[in-house]
Amino acid sequence: MCTKTEYSDTEPSLGYLERAGWHELGLLGEVDTVAALQGPAEQGGRPMDEEAARLLARESGGYPYAIQLYGKHAWRASVGQDRVHLDAAERAVAPAGRELDRGLYSARWAQASGREREYLMALAELAKSGGEVTGRSIADKLRSTPKGLSMIRARLLTKGTLVTQGEILDFAIPGMADYVRRQLVPGTAGRTGPSAPRLRPSDRSDFGSHRH
């Protein structure tokens, strides 16, 4: 869950993020994400339309920090309007994605060693097919064994870059797989578009179908 503190609209120039305090407690489902987007907007005096909130919810993947970024950029894009409409949400997608690339994604990538990056690249490539990825399938792709890669896997889990569900491995942050794949293609590193990030398998029932 992700919760926000109460705030007031005593300072009209206050930005979207400054209007609410957040405590990160994991991925949100769609209903909670929509509420997390609409709540600050409503209290800030510029309500967010349902279709706008749903678009931003899909793009954020339910990740609290991403929710804040998409909400912030939609708020900025709606300056001068009485509501945050769908067009403002659509204009928010690209700049929010770029900010995620420059900040959250690039920070996680910079923290990874050369061998850890190889592991992340293998996971990202395997995930592209939409199937479940395990330590065994990554080891096979890297022509190694799960035991031989166990320390790398453990470090990435400890850093919070990866998460597990049983034997299944996935990126902890929605959209990270797409960022990693873009590091493999010359001229595309850091480029972002309006594609929706993918949730971990356990979140699909709440949030619909997403892709890496």
pLDDT in tens, 39-62: 999 999 999 999 999 999 999 999
Statement to judge: residues 146 and 176 lie in one domain: yes
Q: What is the pTM of this model?
A: 0.72
Statement to judge: residues 21 and 102 lie in one domain: yes
Statement to judge: residues 15 and 102 lie in one domain: yes
Question: CA–CA separation, 73 vs 87, rounded Å?
Answer: 12
Torsion of CA 59, 132, 130, 137, to 10 degrees: 120
Statement to judge: residues 76 and 93 lie in one domain: yes
Question: CA–CA separation, 129 vs 137, rounded Å?
Answer: 13
Q: What angle do CA 191, 195, 201 make, to 5 degrees?
A: 120
Statement to judge: residues 24 and 91 lie in one domain: yes
Of 108, 127, 152, the one marking the end of a domain is 108
CATH number for the domain harbouring residue 122: 1.10.10.10
pLDDT at 21 over 50: no
Residue pair 180/198 in contact by the 8 Å Cβ criterion:
no
pLDDT tens-digit map of 179-205: 999 998 655 444 444 333 333 333 333
Residue 212: inside a domain = no
* Spacing of C-alpha 18 from chain mean position: 20
pLDDT at 20 over 60: no
pLDDT tens-digit map of 155-185: 999 999 999 999 999 999 999 999 999 998 6
Of 108, 138, 163, the one marking the end of a domain is 108
More confident: 15 or 117: 117
Statement to judge: residues 144 and 63 lie in one domain: no
Statement to judge: residues 7 and 104 lie in one domain: yes
pLDDT at 36 over 90: yes
Residues 64-74, mean pLDDT to the nearest whole number: 95
Statement to judge: residues 93 and 36 lie in one domain: yes
Q: What percent of the chain has pLDDT over 90?
A: 72
Statement to judge: residues 20 and 72 lie in one domain: yes
- Number of Cβ atoms within 10 Å of the Cβ of 109: 18
pLDDT tens-digit map of 95-146: 999 999 999 999 999 999 999 999 999 999 999 988 899 999 999 999 999 9
pLDDT of 25 reads 54
pLDDT at 7 over 90: no
Domain that holds residue 85: 2-108
pLDDT tens-digit map of 80-99: 999 999 999 999 999 999 99
pLDDT of 131 reads 86
Question: What amino acid occupies position 122?
Answer: A
With 0-12 / 13-18 / 19 or more C-beta atoms within 10 angstroms meaning exposed / middle / buried, residue 85 is middle
pLDDT of 13 reads 37
Statement to judge: residues 13 and 104 lie in one domain: yes
Domain count, the chain: 2
Residue 89: inside a domain = yes
Of 61, 91, 108, the one marking the end of a domain is 108
Residue pair 36/70 in contact by the 8 Å Cβ criterion:
no
